[in-house]
A and B are shown apart, each in its own frame.
Chain A
Amino acid sequence: MQTTTSQTIGPYWHLIEDRSWSDLTRFGATGEVITIEGTISDGAGAPAADACVEIWQTSPTACDEFPGFGRAATNEAGVFSFKTIMPGPVRGPGNTLQAPHLAVTILARGLMFHLATRLYFDKEPANENDPVLSLIEDKARRNTLMARQTKAGVWHLDIHLQGDAETVFFEI
């Protein structure tokens, strides 16, 4: 049987929202605690105020203390925020090493199928040889995945669903 068809998450998905899920350290994880914050905007530059943002990271390895997964809602200004542990590099295809990154999924009203992208960390030397970033031929567009440090421990990424700065989204 073929994979079940996707449908939009719609505007009322907050019925399953648990705000504690945006804090991946809540079960007692230790490590370099960081804040990931960002915005989501649509093709008119308006904030996507009803989106569900999910992150998944394989470093540090998920365990009882660290779920590796988080979910957050965007607010009226399209802003989302997570507290997590800074990931390290993980293995990639062949003998490659992937730069530290988070997988990011965006689900929202108006999206029939969730969008997949990644968040990388600006100025991380390993970005240069990352096997996924390297697939983005237009180097300027690699910046659409690059979170920038705004202060100690805080990283910011603006996600654009459309427009000149449209984020690179993946087919997985």
Chain B
Amino acid sequence: MNEIRAPFRAYAPGTQPDNDSPQYRSTGLRHPTRPLLKIPQTITELTGPQFSPAHFPPTDNIAVNGTHEAVGERIIVEGFIRDEDGRPVANTMVEIWQANAAGRYNHPRDTHDAPLDPDFRGSGRVFTDSDGAYRFITIKPGSYPWSNHANAWRPNHIHFSLFGAGYATRLITQMYFPGDPLLELDPIFLATADAQARNRLIAKFDLDVGKQDYALGYRFDMYLRGRNATPMEDNHADHH
């Protein structure tokens, strides 16, 4: 039995957002209108890209540009990436991107009238260690307005992109900050029906993650799909 071939588990009901989320206006013309077709997990879905730090060099401190410190409140974010059974997802690439302290993305399409910071590009990449732990240093992102509805503001957030073991474990998410009053007004955060599931997107404030006289810290653990106990029927049929 080759465990690597066991299919990934279905998502727990209610824990993932519906693409048809009318409160988030941009979904209107972009969500599929026909039911998704359930397909078996084949070698294509059970395997996935593996990134090496040699080809994809890590950048774990994005709060500094050479010797220039970015403007804003420096923070350390760390956590574990595990599967649903608690197994570490080791050596996996974690990509992050975010607005600067003023709530402005270093992006040509961001027209918000808040200052850009020449010392903050706002993107980075790290790899988990053998325990599935990751850590990076950044600036606490600011809130910013968006055009979804009248006086709409996004809560402070950091975008995360994860791959995990297979094509089927791809995850794009956002990390939020505890105590943010905008969370209960945000249609993106609220698009997930299960309140417990969406509340897990809120990082935990943790002084021990921070560093004295240097930065405050937040802990944000993420979980990728676990595997079913039963391997695929064609487990033995390895023609390669």
Binding site for B on A (CB under 8 A): 1-16, 27, 42-44, 46, 48, 50, 54, 56-58, 61-62, 67-69, 90-95, 98, 101, 103, 105, 107-115, 118, 131-132, 135-136, 161-162, 166-172
Q: Which residues of B contact A98 (CB under 8 A)?
A: 42-44
- Interface SS of B by simple majority: loop
What is the CB-to-nearest-CB distance from B49 to chain A, in angstroms, rounded to a whole number? Answer: 3
19 residue pairs bridging A and B, Cβ less than 8 Å apart: A1-B221, A4-B171, A5-B15, A8-B172, A12-B99, A15-B105, A15-B121, A43-B28, A43-B33, A50-B109, A56-B167, A90-B42, A94-B234, A110-B27, A110-B30, A112-B24, A112-B27, A132-B40, A171-B37
Contacting A111 at CB < 8 Å: which of B31, B36, B82? B31
Across the interface, B39 reaches (CB within 8 A) one of A43, A107, A170, namely: A170
Interchain CB contact (< 8 A) of A4 among B18, B24, B222, B232: B222
B45 contacts which chain A residues (CB < 8 A)? 103, 172
Chain B positions 97 through 126: 1 when the CB is less than 8 Å from some CB of chain A, otherwise 0: 101000001110110000000000111010
CA distance A118 to B49 in the complex (A): 16
Q: Which of A6, A27, A68, A90 is packed against the most chain B CB atoms within 10 Å?
A: A6
Contact across chains for B37 and A168 when beta carbons are under 8 A apart? yes
> Which of B65-73, B132-140, B194-202, B208-216 contacts its partner?
B194-202
**Cβ–Cβ contact B29 & A4, under 8 A:** no
Contact check: which of B42, B50, B106 meets A15 at CB < 8 Å? B106
Contact of B237 among A13, A91, A105, A109 (CB under 8 A): A91
Quick check: is B58 within 8 A (CB to CB) of the other chain? no
* CB atoms of B28 and A7 under 8 A apart: no
Most buried by B among A5, A10, A103, A110: A5
B residues touching A (Cβ–Cβ < 8 Å)? 8, 11-12, 15-19, 21, 24, 26-34, 36-45, 47-51, 55, 82, 84, 86, 95-97, 99, 105-107, 109-110, 121-123, 125, 159, 161, 167-168, 170-174, 188-189, 191-192, 194, 197-198, 200-201, 221-226, 232-234, 237-240
Closest to A40 in B: B30
18 A-B pairs besides A7-B172, A12-B99, A169-B36 with CB distance below 8 A are A3-B16, A5-B17, A6-B172, A13-B97, A15-B122, A15-B123, A56-B167, A58-B44, A61-B240, A67-B51, A94-B237, A112-B191, A114-B172, A132-B40, A132-B42, A135-B37, A170-B36, A172-B168
